[in-house]
Amino acid sequence: MFKIRRFKALFIKESYQIIRDPSSILIAVVLPLILLFLMGYAISLDSKHIPVGFVVEKSSKYSLSLTDAFRMSDSFDVKVGNNRKDFQDELQKGTIRAIIIIPSTFAKDLEILNPKIQILIDGTEPNIAGFVRKYSNGVWLNWLSQEGFDKNSAKSSLDVQTRYWFNSPLLSSYFLLPGSIAIILTLIGTLLTALVVAREWERGTMEAIMSTPITIMELLLGKILPYFFLAMTSMIICVAIAILWFEIPFRGSFLLLFITSSLYLIPALGLGLLISTLSKNQFVAAQAALIVGFLPAFLLSGFIFQINSMPTWLQYLTHIIPARYFIEILQCIFLSGDIYEVILPNVIAMSIVGIVIFFIILKINISENKILFDVDG
């Protein structure tokens, strides 16, 4: 029978353990802040100021205008010359990423409505090479439009205005920082909880706990609830930093953010507890938490890499990763608002994963008449 007094005693014991254990503070406070600032400053999917060599074989009004268009772009850091050989060594060394060549016949080609430029791109880094191709193509088309030519070098009669919704500056930090909150909660919920019971076994205190009349539910709640509140505190700090320091827009409801974060901690804490039921060693538990919890949340959740670009079998595998659903919820709440058509299906899927994990934990303990492992095991 569930007794509040026993649960309260275990809850207080575990809370004091968190305060006394430097590793808990490190994982719950220091590492999340480091991860958040890395995502905000060091890690960016935006390619800006890509170094390129710009060769103008013959100076003219149009070639100078096109050169200025590339110089004014934030995407490129332009070095100008009049001979492509001046830049070939730099391209081979990797100090520049491309050579953009305006031929000597550029002005005449414009007069006959057949302008061409040549771009030699360093393909050793495919992502940057793709950015150079797309960005240079965008600058080229914009310049043609400004000069009164369309992409076919005919007079443009269509005024196209592009507007970007939800992330108008097109900054990767707008979706990286909300997504990093899910990674942080995974780190706290899974890693710290995985160490809880393993630490008790290593110190020999689990036998003393199991010799008391404490029930499975009291033990589970007493162990994980302190880490639930610790994770929620860390989440509040990270959200405050993302909004106030990095100025990430927040268009949703704080109440909905709190509710969905609480629901996400069900599978996160449950996964950590499941790991702790299968390991009596803190080192093994920590490694398992990183491999089973942190790495899938980081690599297979859509946080950085698009799920649609993964192999089909791997896309199916991502459906059992709770972070996949929570990251989509966070990005929706931060950037779009409370769109329940997006949030509710992800909340349901995330909750189902959490319920299944806790069912497995209870099944292990009840069916074998154990509390997180038999004393003799």
In tens, the pLDDT along 197-242 reads 788 778 777 767 777 777 778 888 888 899 999 999 999 999 999 9
State which fold the 50-146 domain adopts.
abc type-2 transporter like fold (3.40.1710)
> In whole angstroms, what is the distance from residue 243 CA to residue 255 CA?
16
In tens, the pLDDT along 96-141 reads 989 999 888 888 888 777 788 888 988 877 778 888 888 888 888 8
The model's pTM is 0.78
> In whole angstroms, what is the distance from residue 129 CA to residue 98 CA?
8
> In whole angstroms, what is the distance from residue 115 CA to residue 102 CA?
10
Dihedral of the alpha carbons of 280, 285, 288, 292, in degrees to the nearest 10: 110
In tens, the pLDDT along 154-205 reads 434 334 455 667 887 778 888 889 999 999 999 898 988 888 778 877 877 7
Instruction: Name residues whose C-beta falls within 8 Å of residue 17's C-beta, 6 or more positions apart in sequence.
Output: 24, 226
163 burial via Cβ count (<10 Å: 0-12, 13-18, 19+): exposed
> In whole angstroms, what is the distance from residue 227 CA to residue 238 CA?
16
In tens, the pLDDT along 16-62 reads 888 888 888 888 888 899 989 988 887 777 678 889 999 998 888 88
In the chain, how long is the greatest CA-to-CA distance? 93
| Rounded average pLDDT over 301-307 | 87
**Whose CA is closest to 182, among 69, 100, 275, 299?**
299
pLDDT, residue 349, reads: 94
**Whose CA is closest to 319, among 332, 301, 304?**
301
76 token code pair: 């490129």
Domain definitions of the chain by residue range: 4-43+171-367, 50-146
Flag the least confident range among 63-67, 128-132, 323-327. 128-132
φ/ψ bin of 372: left (φ > 0), alpha (ψ from -120 to 50), beta (otherwise) = left
pLDDT, residue 375, reads: 43
